[in-house]
Structure 1
């Protein structure tokens, strides 16, 4: 998988299509919650395999953290470490921007996945878009 920062409107639309397929169509998140006001200013990542967009995420800088958000891989491409690859790419951009810490809100079913990447849970479980989540941080990138 090739990972790139989505720079054109077309590339951003491709990232939004992947997110819509995973979060809205597969997980039932309302479209108005999935695409929000932060999409205008966030850095969007796009994972491509054989010219097909298959993964997406976005990055924002909040307080002292690079905040990883909307991380997703299309169903047929899961289990190939693509999620890990996109997170590592995001962490590189966080460091390039002078930040040393990362934060994310993980769906609880993915909590162990993030722990393996060095994230630790720092919150109780909470609901977001009808899905249980926890906040996790990585103190040093």
Structure 2
């Protein structure tokens, strides 16, 4: 993996890449329905794209309330810290905007990943889109 970089994306201009990644990860791999994946928050969210060279390989979004979500990396690029770079970019942007707390709903199997990046579980396990999740919180110092 030579040249991975993260940038803030434009929902309209970058829509094809954002959709391609999320459809691959959430809809095709994890069986989330399109109705569950796409919501009205996308239009107002701050989106992030991870690139290797000029090919988009991952995405995440930040909502105005500090909620980070839709963190997704294409299968061939997992385990290479792309998700970490995306999450840190979202946290950094949240802090830049003065959002002292960041929240997310994590798939249980990924909770350790988020814990390593400063998030703490704040709920019991629950099902969302048929997948076990927990709510997690991070406080900026």
**Fold-level similarity (TM above 0.5):** yes
Distance 2:11 2:131 in 1: 31
Structure 1 match to 2:8: 5
Q: What are the superposed Cα offsets for residues 81-138 of structure 1, whole Å, 9 maximum, x if unpaired?
A: 1111011100111011111111000000000111111110000001111111000001
Aligned to 2:93: 93
* 8 Å contact kept, 2:120–2:138: yes
Conserved in 1, the CA contact under 8 Å of 2:50 and 2:58? yes
Q: CA shift at 1:8, angstroms?
A: 5.9
Give the TM-score of the pair, scaled to structure 2.
0.93
> Could you tell me which residue of structure 2 aligns to residue 132 of structure 1?
132
What is the rounded CA distance, in whole Å, between the counterparts of 1:94 and 1:33 in structure 2? 24
* Deviation at residue 30 of structure 1 after TM alignment: 0.3
Gaps of 5+ in 1: none
Does the alignment pair 1:59 with 2:58? no
Question: How far apart are the structure 2 equivalents of 1:97 and 1:12?
Answer: 23
Aligned-pair RMSD on alpha carbons?
1.1
Structure 2 residue ranges without an equivalent (≥5)? none
Q: Is the 8 A contact 2:11 2:47 kept in 1?
A: no
Between the aligned partners of 1:28 and 1:8, the Cα distance in structure 2 is 23
Alignment CA distance shift 1:27-1:8 (3 Å): closer
Number of aligned residues: 138
What is the DSSP-based 3-state SS (H/G/I as helix, E as strand, rest coil) of the residue aligned with 1:92?
A: helix
Structure 2 SS opposite 1:72 = strand
Conserved 8 A contact 2:95-2:140? no
TM-score, normalising length from structure 1?
Answer: 0.93
